[in-house]
Amino acid sequence: MINRRPCLFLDRDGVINRDIAYAHKAEDITFVPGIFRLCRIFQRAGYRIVIVTNQSGIARGYYSEADFQHLTQWMHNEFRRRGITITATYHCPHHPNISGPCHCRKPAPGMLQRATKRYQLDVRQSVMIGDKTSDMQAAKAAGIKHRILISPEPLFRHSKMATMCVQYHRQIFARLKGIIDTRQLKG
């Protein structure tokens, strides 16, 4: 019997860092307040942390795969400096109008499925946090039970793909009971 671990799946732009168009350098990144605390809580509860991000800027020629990898390594190091281990970052470098359809670009579940298989993750206990309906669609298609949508827009506009909708990261902390052991909230 394989001992599967739960995972906190995170979209990157808009969840980990403020969303600016086509961020690809360290100076483009401003971390969202509360993201390190949130990750620490899940890590202490035994969750792996995996980033899944659409990066059409590569297909559009705005930055290279090497630029993306360099920024990803820098971001992993920033988390590591704060005692947080990012298990992996999966990205989709495609855009359907440029490189054609693919199985990895959210709302397709390809990135989440690859991570689930590679790291033997328990999707029924896993959580996806994203800021777009496509994040929620990918998570639902991958079988992820807990899907948290962060959106400053009126929450009623979003599909029923999310199991929780919040306007700000800090609202997640008050609503984690039932997802993880809330004794971890002191981090």
pLDDT tens across the length of the chain (187 residues): 578 999 999 999 999 999 999 999 999 999 999 999 999 999 999 999 999 999 999 999 999 999 999 999 999 999 999 999 999 999 999 998 888 899 999 999 999 999 999 999 999 999 999 999 999 999 999 999 999 999 877 655 556 789 888 888 788 888 887 787 655 555 4
The helix/strand/coil state of 113 is helix
The tens digit of pLDDT for each residue in 38-91 reads 999 999 999 999 999 999 999 999 999 999 999 999 999 999 999 999 999 999
What is the model's pLDDT at position 31?
97
What is the model's pLDDT at position 182?
55
Dihedral of alpha carbons 23, 28, 32, 35, sign: positive
* Beta carbons of 58 and 71 less than 8 angstroms apart: no
What is the model's pLDDT at position 150?
92
| Residue tagged 């360290």 (tokens) | 26
What is the model's pLDDT at position 179?
82
Read off the pTM.
0.93
- Name beta bridge partners: 130: 149
Phi-psi region of 166 (alpha: psi -120 to 50; beta: other; left: phi over 0): beta
What is the model's pLDDT at position 155?
56
What is the model's pLDDT at position 171?
84
**What's the CATH superfamily of 7-186?**
HAD superfamily/HAD-like (3.40.50.1000)
DSSP string, 84-104: ----EEEEE---TTTT---SS
| Residue tagged 């509860």 (tokens) | 45
Alpha carbon separation from 102 to 94, 124, 167 (Å, rounded): 7, 25, 31
